[in-house]
Structure 1
Amino acid sequence: MALNKKGSRRIAVDGIEYRWRIRRKPSYMQGLCWTPMTYAVEAANVDQPGTTLIVTSGQAHPSNWLGVETEPIRPAHVAASIREARSQGWDPMLAGAPFSLDRSAGFIPQP
């Protein structure tokens, strides 16, 4: 799966360029704050798309339908997620199924 270039942001972590993107519209479950927001990361500047990293954050999607306030995902959070995923075995250059990283500890779903 390749990320759409439109709407993605670039970040360099440990000398490697990545692109990351948050889905513009929340999924149904994210809109109701039942599940936390996710974002995707992939290596940039490669000919063949590799494994995509799917990060589950610990906060609600900013466009949720309940008006729950959230903090924006900052590049420092993305960089920390990339480093953690790399330490757990994610290789962004190899093709394969998406690699999931769950950083949602402390997320409390809305009733």
Structure 2
Amino acid sequence: MALPRKGARRIVVDGLTHRRRLRHRPTYAQALGWTPGTAAVEHADTPGSTLVVTTAPPHPGNHLGLPAAPIRPAEVAGAVRRALREGWIPVKPGSAFRLDALDDVPPTG
């Protein structure tokens, strides 16, 4: 499933252009702190499989005031690099490739 263009931002990782999207409003479970935030990434020109990255901190819009941190582009780039090493093929159609915890992805770039 392709990401909607509205709200998606461009990110270039190792010469390849991707689009990333962070959910602006938390889901019900994210708002209550039950589940962490997520980010979605796909290849910009030939979208295929979507990378779904689960973040360690809660969604910044949670209703309980839990400490949250924004997901920086360098962290997303690190997650893309890690997913590519682990076998994600962004231009090949298929189910979503899931990657857990941005906190263990070193911000490189």
Q: TM-score, structure 1 length as denominator?
A: 0.88
Runs (4 or more) in structure 1 with deviation over 3 Å come to: none
Q: State the number of aligned residues.
A: 104
Structure 2: segments with no counterpart, 5+ residues: 105-109
2:70 — aligned with what? 72
Task: State the alpha-carbon separation in 1 of the partners of residues 68 and 103 from structure 2.
Answer: 15
Partner Cα distance (1:105, 1:72) in 2: 12
Give the conservation status (yes or no) of the 8 Å contact 2:75–2:102: no
Shift of residue 104 of structure 1? 6.0
Helix, strand or coil: the match of 1:71?
coil
CA distance in 2, matches of 1:35, 1:59: 9
Deviations 1:12-55 (A, max 9, x none): 00110000001111111111111110110000022xx3000000
Instruction: Give 1:96 shift.
Output: 0.2
Aligned to 2:88: 90
Q: Which runs of 5+ in 1 are unaligned?
A: 107-111
Match of 1:4 in 2: 4
Cα distance in structure 2, aligned partners of 1:60 and 1:97: 25
The alignment yields a C-alpha RMSD, in angstroms, of 1.4
